[in-house]
Amino acid sequence: MNSKLQIQNSIDYIEKNLCENIKLSEIARQSHFSQFHFHRLFHKTVGTSVMDYVRKRRLSEAAMELAETDEKITNIAFKYQFSSEESFSRAFKKLYGASPRDYRNTSRKISRCGKAGTFIKGSNGSSSSNTTLCRAA
């Protein structure tokens, strides 16, 4: 099996286990590499370290949950293996530039914006604008 396929398999493993306690040793073992060689190969192929990739993917999934659900921030933090809401908030703010709470509030305002400027031809041949304006929550 070539190394790129093994890296892809390890990424698939990571994606399936984002909510679990993922260890570099386990990912390397299932890829049939030593930890050192796997870490080096992963970084060369993906462009980031294994655990940095895991952290960013967890934060990305958490961001989607913040925007789309009313789940408590603490529960989301624990779900994605952060030891506390505070450590989750620090990591989240470092990556996204906003606290989880601010991100949730902003993303909800943005998601309520309708599509503007859609023109529908009426039965009499005239055009009318079917515009939904953005409203703050």
125 band by pLDDT with thresholds 50, 70 and 90: low
Give pLDDT, residue 95.
96
106-128 per-residue burial string, b: 16 or more CB within 10 A, e: under 16: ebeeeeeeeeeeeeeeeeeeeee
Q: Is pLDDT larger for residue 84 or for residue 116?
A: 84
Q: Can you tell me whether residue 48 is helix, strand or coil? A: coil
Q: Can you tell me whether residue 84 is helix, strand or coil? A: coil
pLDDT of residue 135 exceeding 50, the answer is no
pTM of the complete model = 0.77
Percent of the chain with pLDDT over 70: 78
Q: Is pLDDT larger for residue 30 or for residue 88?
A: 88
